[in-house]
């Protein structure tokens, strides 16, 4: 009888510890997920701030008549581009890390809203590469960009941001 009671107690104790271990793993995984999510949002917002401002510098560059101002704007454009590129890379890294915490990667990356976000990210990277190309063309005045064209170009990331937010919030 004493052996049975002891054995029953030990079995319960094992179940409790097994449950606590599984729960601890879930808590650590959730803490990691929330940390990655926070960092992803921080770097994404910072990246977007730069992406919104860079084409505005292009508009000032194209519309300026002063060579001195154009040279100063070129320096600002290059510095901003160097600053926002690592922010975009970190936003991508933490976004991917959030996805990799999923227990079923193929199911996670097959969701429609994730596919939309991946497309949005691809388009944003393409947009930033286009900004780099414009930045290379502006100092030599061998471009066909006008202030109006650059203002329209500046609106593209707003649409991409809206698509990304809708995908993330509604998870369609």
pLDDT tens track for 84-95: 999 999 999 999
Residue range 83-136, pLDDT digits in tens: 999 999 999 999 999 988 888 888 888 899 999 999 999 999 999 999 999 999
pTM: 0.81
Cα 82 to chain centroid distance, Å, stands at 17
Of 2-6, 80-84, 92-96, 137-141, the least confident: 2-6
């Amino acid at each position: 009888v004493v052996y049975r009671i002891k054995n029953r107690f030990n079995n319960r104790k094992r179940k409790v510890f097994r449950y606590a271990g599984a729960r601890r793993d879930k808590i650590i995984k959730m803490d990691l997920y929330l940390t990655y999510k926070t960092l992803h949002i921080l770097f994404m917002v910072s990246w977007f701030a730069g992406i919104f401002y860079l084409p505005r510098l292009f508009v000032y560059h194209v519309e300026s008549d002063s060579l001195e101002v154009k040279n100063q704007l070129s320096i600002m454009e290059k510095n901003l581009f160097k600053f926002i590129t690592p922010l975009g890379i970190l936003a991508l890294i933490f976004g991917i890390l959030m996805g990799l915490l999923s227990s079923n990667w193929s199911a996670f990356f097959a969701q429609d809203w994730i596919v939309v976000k991946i497309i949005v990210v691809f388009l944003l990277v393409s947009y930033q590469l286009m900004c780099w190309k414009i930045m290379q063309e502006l100092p030599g005045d061998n471009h066909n960009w006008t202030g109006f064209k650059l203002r329209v170009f500046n609106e593209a990331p707003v649409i991409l941001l809206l698509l990304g937010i809708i995908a993330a919030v509604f998870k369609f």
